[in-house]
Amino acid sequence: MSASCPICNTPDAIAGSPGRDRLFNLAPGNFSLFRCTSCECVFQHPLPEASALAKFYPQEYWWSEESKQKSLPARFFSKLEKAYREFVAADHVRFLNSCARENASGGKLLLDIGCGSGTFLHLAQAHGYIPHGMDISAKAVEIAHRQYGYTARQGEIGSRIWDDCHFDFITMFHVLEHLRDPKEALRYAGQLLRPGGLLIIQVPNISSLQARVFKNRWYGLDVPRHLINFTPKALGILLQEMGFEFQLVPRFSLRDNPASIASSLALWLDPIYRKVRGPDSNPIFSGAMEIAYFGLFLLALPAAFLESICGYGGTIWAFARYK
C-alpha cells in the first residue's frame, strides 16, 4: 500500500508498524501508520471515516468535577484532581499571556476550539480574557456550562455557529492531530480572527525524544484518535500554506510533557484509562492509584524538562497571525 502525505503531499510515504487502540480498546484491529519522507509527520492511512471517528471517544473522555460516588474520600479525591488540573492548565494561560503582546487587535475576546470541559477558559477568564468555547461533543459543552457557566457552543469545525462574533485570540490545544483535514481547521480559525488577532496552537511532537523512545507505545500517538502526528517542520508547512505568519516556540508543557512519559511507562495508571476501562468502585483504592500516578508524573518531570531544553520536547507550540 502506498500513501501520500496529507500535509505536504509528498508521495510514497514509508509504512511503519501498525498501531492499535491501547488507551480505550474501543476500536478493534490495527491501524496502518505511515511516515512522510519529507516533513516526517506520521499519519493513518486510510483515514477513518467521520462516522467511525465519533465511536473512538467514550463519554468519559471529557473530565467533570462531579463524582457519582458521594462518599467523603471520593469527594476529596475529586477536589484534589480539580486542583491538579487547574494547576497544570495555568501553564497554558501563561503561554497565552506571553503571546498577548504580539496581538495587534487590542482586545481580549477568546475562543477555545476543542474546549472540552472548560478548565483553561475558566482560568483565562481570571486573567481578563472574555471566554468562549466550542467543542464537537455536546457532552463536553454541557459540562462546561454546568461547571463554569460561560458561553460554549456545540459544533464541528467549519460550522457557522460563530457567524455573529470574531475573536482576538483563538486557541487550539491538542486539536489538529484529531482532524481528518487540519487545513480546513486553520482556514476556519483565520476567518474567525479579528485583524491582527492571534491563533495559538499546541500539538504532540512525533519527533520528540519520548516519541522516539516509546515508539508505538508513546501516549502521544494515541491511535486511532490522533490521525496526523506533527513534527515542527510539518506544522510550519501547514501554517505557511494556509496563509499564516507564525512562530514555533520550543517550550516545556507542565500539563502534557511529563504526563505523556508517565502514561507511556504505566498506561494502567493513567486516570482516563482507569476511568474508561475499569472504574474503581473503592474510593480508597482509586485514590491510591491517583497518588501513584502523580508520583510517576513527578519522576518524569526532569526527563520531560531536559528534552524540552534540548529542543525535542513532547509538544509543539506555535502562535500565528493571519496574513
pLDDT digits (tens, 9 = 90+) for 196-255: 999 999 999 999 999 999 999 999 999 999 999 999 999 999 999 999 999 999 899 999
Tell whether 3 is covered by a domain.
no
Predicted local distance difference test score (pLDDT) of residue 276: 85
Rg (C-alpha) for the chain, rounded Å, is 19
Interval 268-298: pLDDT, tens: 999 889 888 776 667 778 778 888 999 999 9
The pLDDT of residue 150:
77
Residue 7 lies in a domain: no
Note the pLDDT tens digit of each residue in 67-108.
Answer: 445 566 566 666 766 777 777 888 999 999 999 888 877 899
Quick one: pLDDT at residue 75?
64
- Contact predicate 304/261, CB 8 Å: yes
| CATH number, domain with residue 22 | 3.40.50.150
* Distance (Å, whole) CA 141 – CA 165: 18
Q: Residue 213: inside a domain, yes or no?
A: yes
| Predicted pLDDT of residue 141 | 85
* 4 is a domain residue: no
* Domain span at 102: 14-322
The cell numbers describing 19, all together, are 498501531
Phi, psi (rounded to 5 degrees) for 306: -65, -40
pLDDT in tens, 24-75: 999 989 999 999 999 999 999 999 888 888 889 887 776 555 544 556 656 6
Q: Residue 143's pLDDT is what?
A: 81
In a domain, 163, yes or no: yes
How many domains does the structure of the chain reveal? 1
Is position 128 within any domain? yes
What pLDDT, on the 0 to 100 scale, is given for residue 76?
63
In a domain, 231, yes or no: yes
Residue 139 located in a structural domain? yes
For residue 165, give the C-alpha cell: 462574533
